[in-house]
């Protein structure tokens, strides 16, 4: 069933269908007595992610360029992961908020705060992947290539400097 759902989402992306995103929201109990009896209950909040507009693609791209992936150290993945969360966590939350809002207006603080305090790392990863799908950067690049009169199938002549080649 999961494979069918993934193929359905791919088809929705290709046909510009909006993608539904469902996030579990933990409802906090107000009294200590209820916390121990029921634990926390879950509610769901649904978002619709549509094809991202050019203006928001530009906003998101600008934010993506701010993310420095060189801080990831494969020898100390845990500490570099904590550093990445601390340094770029707000940027990723902002990207998700911009994509979900997807209008000329900047996302409300309440949406940013909702994402920050209700999305877990799996939610953020899943939504971020769908955002990249909905940005459809390949189609944007095809537009630029066609404006230049180039073809993706044409091979470029590569010049190799003998000084740059290692022995």
Q: Torsion angle, CA of 57/62/63/68, rounded to 10 degrees?
A: 130
Average pLDDT value for residue range 136-147: 78
CA distance 44 to 24: 5
Task: State the Cα–Cα distance between residues 11 and 121, nearest whole angstrom.
Answer: 25
pTM listed for this prediction: 0.67
> What is the rounded CA–CA span in Å between residue 42 and residue 23?
10
Q: How confident is the model at residue 1 (pLDDT cuts 50, 70, 90)?
A: very low
Q: Which pLDDT band holds residue 38 (cuts at 50, 70, 90)?
A: low
> Shortest CA distance to 45 belongs to which of 119, 108, 156, 113?
119
3-state helix, strand, coil in the chain (%, to 5): 60, 10, 30
pLDDT at 145 over 80: no
Cβ neighbours, 10 Å, residue 153: 5
The predicted structure's pLDDT at residue 7: 53
Percentage of residues of the chain with pLDDT beyond 70: 69
The residue ranges of every structural domain in the chain are 2-148
| pLDDT tier for residue 108 given thresholds of 50, 70 and 90 | very high
Distance (Å, whole) CA 139 – CA 61: 15
- Hey, how many other C-beta atoms are within 10 angstroms of the C-beta on 73? 13
């Amino acid at each position: 069933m999961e494979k069918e759902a993934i193929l359905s989402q791919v088809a929705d992306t290709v046909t510009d269908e909006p993608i539904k995103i469902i996030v579990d929201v933990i409802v906090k109990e107000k009294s200590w007595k209820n916390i121990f009896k029921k634990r926390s209950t879950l509610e769901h909040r649904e978002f619709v992610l549509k094809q991202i507009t050019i203006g928001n693609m530009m906003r998101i791209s600008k934010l993506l360029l701010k993310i420095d992936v060189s801080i990831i150290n494969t020898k100390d993945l845990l500490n570099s992961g904590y550093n990445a969360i601390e340094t770029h966590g707000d940027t990723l939350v902002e990207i998700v908020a911009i994509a979900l809002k997807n209008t000329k207006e900047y996302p409300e603080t309440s949406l940013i705060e909702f994402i920050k305090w209700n999305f877990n790392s799996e939610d953020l990863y899943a939504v971020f992947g769908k955002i990249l799908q909905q940005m459809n950067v390949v189609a944007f690049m095809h537009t630029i290539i066609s404006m230049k009169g180039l073809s993706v199938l044409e091979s470029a002549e590569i010049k190799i400097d003998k000084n740059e080649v290692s022995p």
